[in-house]
Amino acid sequence: MNKNLLYKTSRAYLLFSVILLVVSAPLFYYSTQKLYIDETDETLLLHKNEFIKYSLPTLKITDIPNWNKFNRNNKIEAYNNTKTDSLFYQSYHDILDSEMEPYRELNAPIIISGKPYTYSTRINLVETEDLVQNIAFLFLAIITSLLIGLFAITKRLSKRLWKPFNDTLAQIEKFEIDKATTPVFVPTDIEEFNRLNNSIEKLIVRNTSIYRSQREFIENAAHELQTPLAIFQAKIDSFIQSAVFSTEQYQMLGSLNENVSRLTRLNKNLLLLSKIENDNYNTKEVIYLHEIIHKNITFFTEQATAKNIKITLELSEKVVAKSNPVLAEILISNLFLNAIKHNTSNGEINVTLSKNSLLFSNTGQAQSLVTDKLFNRFSKSNPSDHGNGLGLAIIKKIADRNNWSVSYIFQDTHHSFLVTF
């Protein structure tokens, strides 16, 4: 599933924030704790040095009990084979709080009146741990607030910065080259977006001009070809009727007449497409599709009978739609012609008109048609087909003009075209 640019950038910021918090929180906690332990060790060593410098020279063995009595965290104990200064963690039971509390302790060897003793000094780590935790929580609160604030500001700023781009995108999505309206881009204070808008405007103007020129050329060419083709076919018909030819000559003239007829149909279809695109049939009114079908059913029944094709109608008379009547009749005619032309001998055509749809279903070839370019101009499912490949393109163009949809369905050897309105 595609995501918009703001979602992807916001997700990147959020992922970075989470990773930063997960990594920095324990790192900051243990780094701060180490700093406090190092500071505690320095304090213990300072107490030892002060003791050795100021108290030890005058201290006697008989003074040890009294000295220990008045120094809660500093003790002179019996020698315990301590050779050098030793720093370590130790827990002691606190009588006042009735619980075990952690301490950082230093043991150092000393000599009093020629006898070895061990000097012990300690610092309670409870307050230190509380302080480290409070600092860590404060750090996390500040970092979290900072990241949330940056995320919110970035998201809000991104929405504002990308608004001109979204406006441009909306204009492009609504633009149709065959419509008279052209996009109007609002100037922005962002250089890149202004360049984008200017480039798109130039591209639209250039392509619209090319499109209109091509459309005018097709329409003018179709108009100019109408009269020569009509004269050409009339003279061929007159020539065939007024002279006697050999079988080979008749075949050549028949082939020539057939090709002229194809050119005439192609010319009429191209002219029709051009008129539809030029909005020559822009007036719409309420129509009853069942009436149009009944009006033309006799003509199509005669064509179907020539191939022994059975036509079945299931029409609801309450169905109304809004369209140009001429275009609606052309749509139904092309659907009938397509169903007859691509049918098989002894086949069938089923026409179903329901509340919101019109379905033409006919027998035909055993495999489904290629749908990728089915409604494109000059697209043929069978290259040997003598048609011009414009029938379905006209059906699609009329459906689009009426804001209808047309789709192809293949099921149980039946080819169906569904018009939804």
Indicate whether 224 pLDDT > 90. Answer: no
Model pLDDT, residue 385: 55
| CB atoms inside a 10 Å sphere around CB 19 | 10
pLDDT of residue 352: 92
Average pLDDT over residues 333-361: 90
> Hey, which of 87-96, 272-281, 410-419 has the most confident mean pLDDT?
410-419
Q: Which of 126-130, 204-208, 361-365 has the highest mean pLDDT?
A: 361-365
Q: Within the chain, which residue ranges are assigned CATH 1.10.287.130?
A: 191-277
Rg (CA), the chain: 47
Q: What's phi and psi for 362, nearest 5 deg? A: -140, 155
- H/E stretch holding 277 reads helix 247-277
Cα–Cα separations (whole angstroms), residue 374 to 12, 155, 369, 380, 391: 43, 45, 8, 7, 10
What is the CATH class of 191-277? mainly alpha
Q: With a cut of 70, say whether residue 355 has pLDDT above it.
A: yes
The mean pLDDT value for 356-372 works out to 87
Q: What percent of the chain has pLDDT over 70?
A: 91
| Range list for CATH 3.30.565.10 in the chain | 285-420
State in words which class domain 285-420 has. alpha beta
Average pLDDT over residues 85-113: 86
Would you state the pLDDT for residue 2?
58
In the structure, what pLDDT confidence band is assigned to residue 4 with cuts at 50, 70 and 90? low
What is the per-residue pLDDT for 384?
47
Q: Is the pLDDT of residue 118 over 90?
A: yes
Burial of 226 (C-beta count, 10 Å sphere; 0-12/13-18/19+): middle
pLDDT of residue 148: 82
